Structure 1
Amino acid sequence: MLEFWAFGIKQARACLFGGFLLGIMVLTQYWYPFSALHRYDFLLLAALAFQAVLLLFKLESPREAMVILVFHLVATLMELFKTMDGINAWAYPGEAVFKLGNVPLFAGFMYSAVGSYIARVWRLFDFRFSHYPRRRWTVLLALLAYLNFFAHHYLVDLRWGILAAVGVLFWRVDVYFKVQDKHRRMPLLVGWLLVALFIWFAENIATFTKVWLYPNQLGGWQMVSLGKLGAWYLLMMLSFVLVSLIHRPQGPDLLRRPMLSWLVPSGR
């Protein structure tokens, strides 16, 4: 039970940036006193200020901040495409001064929160991996998933084929994570699913607070379809691969005894 408590504390530390963004979304939906400043612009300034605080107090490393910047750029490009006239995959109903096309600049930070979480959890839990595939294949699969986010509007949607390829490439991969003094393990594919499910819950909160809306939510809020889990799962894979370019995946060479089951201490 103590180890489970420590696991929760470390997860909370890894979620600092994402938790802050989600909290500020809820707060500004029900209480926003700044009539001279658009809500999206306030969210952007709040995200930048929180980033500065994390760096100042060394709660986030410069390398993790670099991950956030990369995610912001990659995500903003996709947002510009998804919200342009004729695509309208989702929309931002409010006004903003700091925006590109139909996208407030704050939007990229929502994806950056995912990258920040992965980078931080990787460090806090001292991730190690067994049977991690070659980098060239992971990068190729991540690139294919990213391109499909654009291409499926015009060509055949390859989402399920890419998900199958992810399963084939990563099915042998276990992630070893240290909570206190022992490494435990679980299949990486299962870990991605759990995080994707958490992001889906967060997405429901964000759309409920009208930060963005899907077409079927314009007439009144509805829960986000569970079908979005596939997209979030691919985003998890893409995010993980991007972070792996900075945090090199290391093998479980420090674990010398055989591991017999997942979610148990290594060596037992």
Structure 2
Amino acid sequence: MRALKQLIHFGWEQALSCIFPVVIFSSLAITQMLPLPFLPRYDWLLIICLLMQWWMVHSGLETKDELKVITMFHLIGLALEIFKVHMGSWSYPEEGYVKIFGVPLYSGFMYASVAKLSLSSVAEIEG
């Protein structure tokens, strides 16, 4: 019975850790299909990511220390995207007000979302 409880708890924690990536990748798909007013798509994606991150900290799903680590993953991911775009691996052709060297700022959140999954798995296994 204890093993079943642990399995259910682990599954629940993993599902919670998937919230951020699901929001990001759903937003990528939805904003591709539905036109959004006032701002370019890339800027809307940044706003969505920032609001989601704010909600996760204020709801208690993420601590401020976790936010610091995730921010580092975001910055590393953004640097990798800048490098990849500079090397010609791909580009971000759509318009956006909030771009650095042709890379929209939301792109680092994709790396951070993968880090969230990894960190929660490690924390759950160690805990």
- Shared fold (TM-score greater than 0.5)? yes
- Tell me which residue corresponds to 1:73: 75
Gaps of 5+ in 2: none
What residue identity is the alignment partner of 1:14?
A: S
Q: Is the counterpart of residue 13 in structure 1 residue 16 in structure 2?
A: yes
AA aligned opposite 2:94: G
Matches within 5 A, 1:36-185: 36-84=38-86, 87-123=87-123, 125=124, 127-128=125-126
Moved over 6 A (4+): none
- AA of the residue aligned to 2:42: Y
TM-score (norm 2): 0.86
Q: Tell me the residue number matched to 1:238.
A: none
Unaligned runs of 5+ in 1: 129-177, 179-268
Report if the CA contact (8 A) 1:75-1:108 is conserved.
Answer: yes
Give me the CA root mean square deviation. 1.9
Higher relative contact order (Cα pairs below 8 Å, separated by 6+ residues):
2
The letter for the 1-side match of 2:119 is A
Letter aligned with residue 110 of structure 2: M
| Alignment deviations for residues 58-108 of structure 1 (CA, whole Å, 9 cap, x no partner) | 110111111111011111112111101xx2111112111001011001111
SS of residue in 2 equivalent to 1:74: helix
Q: Distance in 1 between matches of 2:90 and 2:15?
A: 29
Report how far residue 26 of structure 1 moved: 1.4
Richer in helix (by share)? 2
Between the aligned partners of 2:58 and 2:80, the Cα distance in structure 1 is 30
Whole-Å separation in 2 of the counterparts to 1:48 and 1:67: 15
Sequence identity percentage: 33
Larger radius of gyration: 1
Question: Are the equivalent residues in 2 in contact too, given 1:80–1:103 (CA < 8 A)?
Answer: yes
